[in-house]
A and B are shown apart, each in its own frame.
Chain A
Amino acid sequence: MIEGFLSNNLNTYLFVGLFLLSCGILGVIYRRTLIAMLISIELIMNGAGLNFVAFNRFISPEGPDGMIFTLFIMGLAAAEAAIALAIIILIFRKYRSIESAEMEEMKD
């Protein structure tokens, strides 16, 4: 078994997950194109999954509950990426642009 101070500490993994969450929030607000925003949302989901597995490893090591939730997050992320990219391609065909600032009109 791997022994070590950093790799055997819960707060390290929580810090990495928190860093991914902050980077995702920064990307969702800052980036211009819709695809980059989708990539940032993937970062947030991965931080959540990492936190689930870390809590499962350190807090309740009896059952595989956190790992199953991470698998569910992966499946939902796949479904969300598929449907969001289809919508983005539609938006590009209609507006000839994938910038978020150009989608002003909702009707038409």
Chain B
Amino acid sequence: MIHIGEPIFILMMIITMAGALTTVLSASVIYALIGLVATMFGISGLYIYLNAPFLAMMQILIYVGAITILIAFAIMLAGPFYKRPREWNGITKFIAALIVSLISFFMFFTIIMKVPWNEGKGTFNLLTKDIGRALFDRYAFSFELISLVIIVSIIGAIMLAMLSKGEK
């Protein structure tokens, strides 16, 4: 008797992997962006299977809602489509990149399969309340540092946009 959650999980894995392959191998940047959106939805489904629904919601909000729209605007601002060259670089560079990624893949795969992870025994049902409490208790300093980094990056992006107005 197979459980009903299992085919949906396999579907989420397939969506994630197919989205990643589309992101890497597609010929146009906008198709790569659509593949990134599919990957984000698949990963949020995997987060739901990991009992972290808050992170799934945050994944959809931040990545699909914010970062993807930002990249889409950058693609639209960076020139018209027909002037842009195709995305492939020649077969030799593709073979070189494939060798590098396959070497890293099999190296980490053997490490993952060899290491005996001693899994914890407790049940994992953490609420959003626990995340918020740990965020303001143990990780308060890191949290403030992240907010400082985001403010500095926003100011830096605005300064870059302002300083480049004069030159062409």
A-side residues, CB < 8 A to B, are 2-7, 10-16, 18-27, 29-33, 35-36, 38-40, 42-43, 46, 49-50, 53-54, 56-65, 67-68, 70-72, 74-83, 85-90, 92-94, 96-99
Q: List 28 A-B contacts (CB under 8 A).
A: A5-B6, A6-B10, A7-B9, A11-B113, A23-B21, A23-B101, A29-B93, A29-B96, A30-B94, A33-B29, A39-B33, A39-B36, A46-B43, A50-B46, A50-B47, A56-B124, A59-B118, A62-B122, A68-B135, A79-B152, A79-B154, A80-B153, A83-B156, A85-B70, A86-B156, A88-B78, A90-B164, A97-B79
Interface pair A59/B23, CB less than 8 Å apart: no
Interface pair B74/A89, CB less than 8 Å apart: yes
Interface pair B160/A30, CB less than 8 Å apart: no
A-B contact count (CB 8 A): 235
Interface pair B74/A64, CB less than 8 Å apart: no
Interface pair B149/A25, CB less than 8 Å apart: no
Chain A residues whose CB sits within 8 angstroms of the CB of B3 once the complex forms: 2-4
In angstroms, Cα B110 to Cα A10, docked, is 15
Looking at the assembled complex, report how far the CB atom of A53 sits from the nearest CB atom of chain B, in whole angstroms: 5
Majority secondary structure, A binding face: helix
B-side residues, CB < 8 A to A, are 3, 5-6, 9-10, 13, 16-17, 20-21, 23-24, 29, 32-33, 36, 39-40, 43, 46-47, 49-52, 54-55, 58-59, 62-63, 66-67, 70-71, 73-75, 77-79, 84-85, 87-89, 93-94, 96-98, 100-102, 104-105, 108-109, 112-113, 117-120, 122-124, 126, 130-131, 134-135, 139, 142, 146, 149-150, 152-154, 156-157, 160-161, 164, 167-168
Chain A residues whose CB sits within 8 angstroms of the CB of B33 once the complex forms: 39
Chain B residues whose CB sits within 8 angstroms of the CB of A20 once the complex forms: 16, 20, 39
In angstroms, Cα B74 to Cα A92, docked, is 10
Chain B residues whose CB sits within 8 angstroms of the CB of A59 once the complex forms: 117-120
Interface pair B43/A50, CB less than 8 Å apart: yes
Chain B residues whose CB sits within 8 angstroms of the CB of A12 once the complex forms: 13
Interchain residue pairs A-B with the least CB separation, the first 8: A61-B124, A29-B97, A79-B153, A86-B157, A26-B101, A23-B20, A30-B97, A22-B105
Interface pair A74/B59, CB less than 8 Å apart: yes
The residue of chain A having its C-beta at the shortest distance from the C-beta of B129 within the complex is A64
